[in-house]
Structures are given as C-alpha cells and as structure tokens.
Chains A and B, each alone.
Chain A
C-alpha cells in the first residue's frame, strides 16, 4: 500500500452534482490535510484535521465540506461547485498537525476535478 492514496484520480462534475473525494493514509500519522492546487498559484491549504480537531481556511467556500471519521481517512464533500473550483485537490498527512508543520508532509497523487 502506498503511503497516501486518493480516489478518484479524475472527476468531472456538473455544477448541480454532489460528489466526494476520498483520501486514506497508511502511515500512522495523526494529521491530514486538504490542499487546492490551481495552475501557477501557490498551494492553498483548505482544511487540517489533527486528532479529530479541525482547522480551516476561512476563505474556503461552504460548498466544500470536509469529513474525517478517523485518523486514517479524510473526505472532501463537494456540492454546487463552480467552474473556478476546477483544480487538483491534494491530500497530505503528517505526524504533526495543529501544532504546526516542522516536519515532512506526505502527499497523495491528487484528484483532478473539472467542473462543467
């Protein structure tokens, strides 16, 4: 099993659809992250979960809804998205979380989302 796996790898959805992205980590880490990667922009941190506590970027629209049922699984629920939400969504994990990132982040390969 690779360290961090994301499904699906590619997703095309209409603006009225509801879909979810899934992330699973097999590294025993206690923090998981969702990042948004848009072309030629810095990675944007959307959400962090650490020991079931959540920190979010206040600029993330409510049409993105995270869920972390346990320390190994992370979901990003998507509903009524806009075309500008098309991007690569990356999941990551680390040993730290809310205490800060002084160590290494382990990333999945991402879910490429296209909103029509």
Chain B
C-alpha cells in the first residue's frame, strides 16, 4: 500500500493564482517526519520544509504555506500568487521509525505556471 499519496499528477494554473498541492500519508508510528521537496527542470531536488509529528502548527514562508492535519493524515502545500519560477515537480515524503527513518516518497505533482 502506498504510504505517501500525491493524487494530483499534474496541475496547471495561470500566474498569480493560488494553488494547493495535496499530500496524504499513512503511518502507524506516533513519531514521524514529513517533508516537501521541489524539483525544478535542472533536476536537483531542493528541500522546502520538514515537519515532525508533534508540531501541527501551520507554517508560512513567504508565498509558501503548509497545512499539517493529523486528523486527516494530510500535509498540504499552498503557493500564493504563483509565479512562473514555481513551475517544478513537487514531492512529499515521510520518514518514520518503522521504516528506520528512510524517506518514503510520493510520486510527485508536476506544477505548471502559465504566464
């Protein structure tokens, strides 16, 4: 069974629109970590955020925000006022004790921002 689900394979929006990327995870651990990474066309994945399971506070960093809800096992990522440079593939990942903390990745969401 997939442990990290990114149901949106591809999203296309026009610049300046807000967009939310969904991430749903499964774990039996009480201690775990959730991550978002960005992969621009150049190829290297870039770390965006890490959240531990004991911290459900939402996080905002500039135009980026993350909504962590344990009740729905979701860790969604919103980009406000999107820009063309936000075009990339975005990955959600989970690390948990049961998997010896090795990262379990979602399949990624390709985000296209049209000018």
Chain A interface residues toward B at CB < 8 A: 4, 40-43, 45, 48, 88, 90, 92, 96, 98-110, 112
> Is the beta-carbon distance between B102 and A4 smaller than 8 angstroms?
no
A-B contact pairs, 7 of them (CB 8 A): A40-B9, A42-B106, A43-B105, A92-B45, A101-B33, A104-B47, A105-B47
> Is the beta-carbon distance between A102 and B33 smaller than 8 angstroms?
yes
CA distance A104 to B46 in the complex (A): 9
- Asked if B55 lies at the interface with its beta carbon under 8 angstroms from chain A, I say no
CA distance A4 to B95 in the complex (A): 22
> Is the beta-carbon distance between B50 and A104 smaller than 8 angstroms?
yes
- A40, A102, A104: which contacts B101 (Cβ < 8 A)? A102
CA distance A41 to B33 in the complex (A): 21
> Is the beta-carbon distance between A103 and B50 smaller than 8 angstroms?
yes
Instruction: Please name all residues of chain A whose beta carbon is closer than 8 Å to the beta carbon of B95 when the two chains form the complex.
Output: 100-102
> Is the beta-carbon distance between B100 and A42 smaller than 8 angstroms?
no
